[in-house]
Structure formats: structure tokens, C-alpha cells
């Protein structure tokens, strides 16, 4: 197979590709043209369809592709449509990928039955549901294997692994007993807390104390009407007559922690030095991806950026970003440390004064940092960029102030907000800022794709490195850095990493059809980064640079060539190898337009 692909590539080398060979040091016999590349993959797909090894594309998907072809000329008229985020992509996802859904009371085998009775809009006949259910994906259910019981019962896409002939859910008692006492996922939103947050009845005494100290002329009230009435009644009693302030509402016995404020030196300490830090990544930095990175050598992980306003409103979708797997032994957001992401360049966040906007609002920034420090008993870290404008660095002015505010760690991305991820990160500036930050540790971030990049970064005064896009393109980068080597990873090993991700995704999002398709969506978002990797064995000289868009090339086998494709249909084909055929009403557009060109 390798010989055939190499001969195909040799015949397809384009004369204009010589500059790419010199720039990327890619062996010339692997290079090909865009047309020959897609022709090869299309011919392979057509052969698979004729053999019956792969289902044909759903009708809606073919219609969508035809519509995209009709819009091709309009898109050419406005080149800006191919830049930035895909903001015009459809936001509405199908509520269900199943025509008929089974009632949760039947799935969970409740003895009480369905509380809605005849008014229930779901099916109650398991036999009727099984006639319309999509085919199972395999004989091994990730949830049943790890927990001893699958909560999705007959709706699980691996149901035959844990259902009897009577369609009853089976339990592996030994595994279930061993896992029942373990908490695999932490930071879950308690329903009572969610109700109190939504009703604004949750009391934050430490926050009230700090806000009162910076705004003494205003009386801060967050308690509900019933608590205010109780406070008024208590004020009219004996305590008020003695001039004493009535105590606030408390739950349980009062401890020393409620009365005595911890000094900075008494707070929980975390040793960040010389650790590999996985950056907080929107969408793709989800819990299953972080588990993959932990397996491959990441030391510190951090949850996706969560908006505090949404957290205080009790939004379940925002609280889901804080979930932490038990394998994440050093996790940012909650428990180990809290990170303020003031380096986020996204317009929606910046225009509201958040993210990079905080860097130009020094007074507000200081109040936030000092306020959080006053109520936290874990370290507080801050992530910033070099500045907002491209040629106006301001990080060196903020760092001495942040030392006074009491931050435990500073992470500096070597680009400004205007640069986003274009041009090279300024590591000379990161080095000078690291010297300013001492003795507070400063981590550098930007353009690290190989262990050589990490070694060069560590030659500066930084305490460690944070990996963002490099970890998305090649998550085994953590292993390469720790072992000081280039890993010429095979396509089979890369597929095994994707298989681990899908198993973790099914555990996290569910093994029913809804969970399978949610896992698929996040897998496809990740594949839009993975396709940028060029295997080490194909390079005449290493390393690959992170900002160099790879040319079209043929891999050493079909899977390696397929993984190099930058077209969404080929990503869907890879997902079908792991999660089965896509449903008829499935649709996917990557979040970034640059990830969807052909």
C-alpha cells in the first residue's frame, strides 16, 4: 500500500510546490496537488460505498453540499466571509436524533411508572422503540465497563452488552460496588444550590464584606425578602438595643474559618514550577479532551472559560464547564486554584469589558483580583496577553501591580489581542516580563509545537510553559517534551487516541443516540485542528512550525492521508469509523471558517 501511494504522489507533484518543500522541509515524493489529493480520497470513498462498507451520505447532507456549491460565487464576492469565526452558522441543533424516544421511566425501570400517564409524549413500548432505534455500535459499553451499570439501559447504543433477552438492564455487581463509592466527576451543580442561585437567595458574606469595604456609601444587599424581614425583626430585638450587629444567616455550626480570615501564607499552596500546563480552550478544551491530555503527560489542566454572571444565575450549561474528572489531579477553576482569564480575545467577551478588556481597566482589574483573593482559600492565577493593540505592550506595566494584588501565578501569551494567533509569539518580551514577575512564577504561552520549542522557551526566565494550539494539533506533545524526542506517531496510534476520546466522551455525555452525536460534534471540532499535523517521518528536516499551513501531501498509508484532509466530509468519515454512520438530520459546520475550506 505504501508503494502505491508514493508512486501516486510522485506523479502528482506540482512544480509550484518546490517553495513549500524548502519552507516546510517535506520530502518531495509525499507532496501532491489539491485536486489529486481530493481525487484520491473521493475514489476511495466511492469504492467503500460500492463494497457496502460505508453508508452513503444522508439526503439532507447531499442537499446541503449542493446549496454550498450554489453559494460559492457569492462567497468569492466577500472574502471576509472566510476569516474569523463562523458566526453565521446555524445555532439551532436538532432536539433529538431519534424519531421516537423512550420514556425515562421505562429507561430507568422505575417501579412507580410514568408520572405523566396518558399525557406522556414518549413511547412506553420497548418493542416499538427497538424497531426505530439506530443500530448498536459495538459489544462493549464504556459506561457499563467502568461503572458496572449503564444508566441509559435499552437506549444505549451498546445495549446488547448489558441487556437481557427480556430487554432488562443488567448490572455487574462487583464493578458497580467498587465504583459506587468513587466520585469520577466532581464540581457538579447541586439542585438546591441552583434553586437558591436562580432565586438570588444564596448568601455570600465574604463578598458582601469586601464590596462594603470598597463602596462604604452603598449598602450591599443580596439576601432575599424573607431574610431581610428576619434581619429587620432581629434588629428590633435585644441585640440592636445593645448596639451589636445581628449575625448573618448561617448553616451549621460556626467554625474558625468563618471568623478568622486566612493570611496569604496560610492559603493552600500549589507548586507550579516546571509543570506542563494545558491552556483553557473554548469548546475543544472539554473534559474528555483533558483526560486524553492527562494520559499523554499533561501536569496541569484548566476548565473552559466560564462567565461568572452565568454561574451566579445557576445556568447548568455554564456550570458544566467546571466539571472535573478525578484523573485531573491539578485542576484550575475550582478546588486547586482559580484562574482569571483576562487574555480572552473574543469580541463578545471583550466588548463587555471582560477578557483582554480588563487589561485596560486597571482599577476594575485590581478590585476583581483583590476581591477574589479575600474570599478564596486557594491560589488565584491570572492569564494575560502582551496588550490589546498590536504594537503597544502593556503587560510589563501590569505585572508589578499584580504582584502587589497577591496573584500566585501569571501566564503571559506572547501576542496582543489584535494579533490573535497570527505572527510569532514574542518570547523576548515574555522573558523580560518573567524577570519583572519574580518571585511570582510566570508561565509563557505561544507557538510551542515541538519539544525543541519547549526547550528554547525554558531557556528564558519563565517558570513553565502553557500549551494551547500545540496540544490541539498534537496532544502527544506533552510526551515529546517530557521524553525530549520527536514522536513519529503512526496513523493507527493516532486513531487509538481518537478512540480514547470517544470512549471518554460517551462516559461524559452519554452512550445513547444524543450522547453519541454530541461526542461526534466535539470530535469533529477537534479534528479541524488535528489535520494540521504533518507526520515527522514525512519531513526532510524537523520541526514543523505552528503557523505554517501544511501543503497537500500523501501519507504513508490511507489513514494518514485521510487524517491530513482539511475538508469536513473526511472528518465525518473518521467519526463514522468510531461512532457509526451519521443520522439523517445531522449537520456540522466548524466554528472557524478557515477550517472548512477545500
Provide the annotated active-site residues.
Answer: 344
Strands 380-385 and 301-302: unpaired
> Residue 496 and residue 49: Cα distance in Å, rounded?
24
Distances (CA, A) of 61 to 56, 262, 568, 588: 10, 59, 12, 9
Which residues 6+ apart lie within 8 Å of 251 measured at CB? Answer: none
C-alpha cell at 215: 463602596
Q: Is 575 within 8 Å of 523 (Cβ atoms)? A: yes
Longest alpha-carbon distance in the chain: 96
Q: Is 476 within 8 Å of 465 (Cβ atoms)? A: no
Going by the DSSP 8-state scheme, the letter that residue 566 receives in this structure is -
Distances (CA, A) of 532 to 129, 252, 296, 499, 543: 42, 55, 19, 19, 14
C-alpha cell at 463: 517558570
For the residues of 465-494, what is the DSSP string, one character each? Answer: EEESHHHHH-TTHHHHHHHTS-----HHHH
Distances (CA, A) of 115 to 111, 112, 120, 121, 422: 11, 8, 8, 12, 56
> Residue 30 and residue 14: Cα distance in Å, rounded?
11
> Residue 536 and residue 542: Cα distance in Å, rounded?
7
C-alpha cell at 278: 494545558
| HSE toward the beta carbon, residue 56, CA cutoff 13 A | 4
**How many other CB atoms sit within 10 Å of the CB of residue 552?**
22
> Residue 80 and residue 97: Cα distance in Å, rounded?
34
| HSE toward the beta carbon, residue 339, CA cutoff 13 A | 31
Amino acid at each position: 500500500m505504501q508503494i502505491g501511494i508514493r508512486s501516486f504522489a510522485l506523479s502528482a507533484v506540482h512544480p509550484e510546490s518546490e517553495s513549500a518543500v524548502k519552507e516546510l522541509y517535506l520530502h518531495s515524493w509525499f507532496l501532491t496537488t489539491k485536486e489529486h489529493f481530493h481525487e484520491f480520497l473521493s475514489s476511495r470513498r466511492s469504492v467503500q460505498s460500492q463494497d457496502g462498507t460505508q453508508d452513503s451520505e444522508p439526503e439532507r447532507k447531499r442537499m446541503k453540499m449542493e446549496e454550498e456549491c450554489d453559494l460559492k460565487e457569492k462567497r468569492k464576492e466577500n472574502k471576509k466571509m472566510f476569516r474569523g469565526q463562523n458566526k453565521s452558522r446555524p445555532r439551532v441543533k436538532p432536539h433529538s436524533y431519534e424519531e421516537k424516544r423512550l420514556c425515562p421511566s421505562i429507561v430507568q425501570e422505575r417501579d412507580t411508572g410514568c408520572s405523566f400517564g396518558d399525557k406522556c409524549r414518549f413511547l412506553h413500548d420497548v418493542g416499538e422503540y427497538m424497531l426505530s432505534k439506530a443500530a448498536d455500535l459495538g459489544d462493549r459499553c464504556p459506561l457499563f465497563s467502568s461503572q458496572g451499570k449503564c444508566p441509559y439501559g435499552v437506549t444505549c447504543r451498546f445495549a446488547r452488552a448489558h441487556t437481557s433477552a427480556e430487554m432488562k438492564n443488567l448490572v455487574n455487581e462487583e464493578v458497580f460496588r467498587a465504583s459506587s463509592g468513587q466520585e469520577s466527576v466532581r464540581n457538579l451543580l447541586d439542585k438546591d444550590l441552583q434553586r437558591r442561585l436562580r432565586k438570588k437567595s444564596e448568601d455570600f458574606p465574604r463578598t458582601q464584606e469586601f464590596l462594603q469595604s470598597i463602596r462604604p456609601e452603598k449598602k450591599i444587599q443580596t439576601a432575599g425578602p424573607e431574610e431581610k424581614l428576619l434581619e429587620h425583626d432581629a434588629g428590633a430585638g435585644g441585640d440592636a438595643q445593645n448596639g451589636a450587629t445581628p449575625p448573618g444567616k448561617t448553616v451549621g455550626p460556626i467554625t474558625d474559618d468563618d471568623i478568622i480570615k486566612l493570611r496569604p501564607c496560610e492559603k493552600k499552596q500549589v507548586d507550579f514550577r516546571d509543570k506542563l500546563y494545558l491552556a483553557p480552550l473554548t469548546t475543544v478544551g472539554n473534559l474528555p479532551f483533558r483526560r486524553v491530555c492527562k494520559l499523554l503527560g499533561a501536569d496541569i489542566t484548566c476548565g473552559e472559560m466560564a462567565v461568572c454572571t452565568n454561574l451566579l444565575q445557576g445556568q447548568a450549561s455554564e456550570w458544566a464547564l467546571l466539571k472535573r474528572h478525578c484523573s485531573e489531579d491539578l485542576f484550575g477553576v475550582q478546588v486547586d486554584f482559580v484562574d482569571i482569564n483576562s487574555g480572552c480575545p473574543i469580541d463578545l467577551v471583550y466588548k463587555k469589558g471582560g477578557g483582554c478588556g480588563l487589561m485596560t481597566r486597571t482599577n476594575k482589574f485590581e478590585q476583581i483580583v483583590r476581591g477574589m483573593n479575600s474570599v478564596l482559600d486557594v491560589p488565584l492565577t491570572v492569564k494575560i496577553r502582551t496588550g490589546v493593540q498590536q504594537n503597544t505592550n502593556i503587560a510589563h506595566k501590569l505585572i508589578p501591580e499584580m504582584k502587589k494584588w497577591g496573584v500566585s501565578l501569571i501566564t503571559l501569551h506572547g501576542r496582543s489581542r489584535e494579533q490573535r494567533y497570527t505572527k510569532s509569539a514574542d518570547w523576548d518580551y515574555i522573558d523580560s516580563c518573567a524577570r519583572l514577575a519574580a518571585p511570582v512564577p510566570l508561565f509563557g504561552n505561544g507557538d510551542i509545537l515541538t519539544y525543541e520549542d519547549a526547550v528554547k522557551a525554558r531557556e528564558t526566565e519563565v517558570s513553565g510553559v502553557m500549551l494551547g494550539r500545540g496540544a490541539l494539533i498534537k496532544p502527544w506533545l506533552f510526551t515529546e517534551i517530557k521524553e525530549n524526542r520527536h514522536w513519529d506517531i503512526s496513523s493507527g496510534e493516532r486513531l487509538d487516541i481518537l478512540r480514547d476520546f470517544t470512549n471518554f466522551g460517551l462516559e461524559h455525555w452519554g452512550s445513547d443516540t444524543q450522547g453519541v452525536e454530541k461526542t461526534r460534534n466535539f470530535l469533529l471540532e477537534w479534528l479541524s485542528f488535528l489535520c494540521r499535523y504533518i507526520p515527522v517521518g514525512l519531513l526532510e528536516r524537523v520541526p514543523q512550525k505552528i503557523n505554517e499551513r501544511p501543503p497537500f501531501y500523501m501519507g504513508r498509508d490511507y489513514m494518514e492521508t485521510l487524517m491530513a484532509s482539511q475538508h469536513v466530509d473526511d472528518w465525518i468519515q473518521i467519526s463514522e469509523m468510531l461512532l457509526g454512520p451519521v443520522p439523517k438530520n445531522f449537520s456540522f459546520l466548524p466554528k472557524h471558517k478557515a477550517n472548512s475550506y477545500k
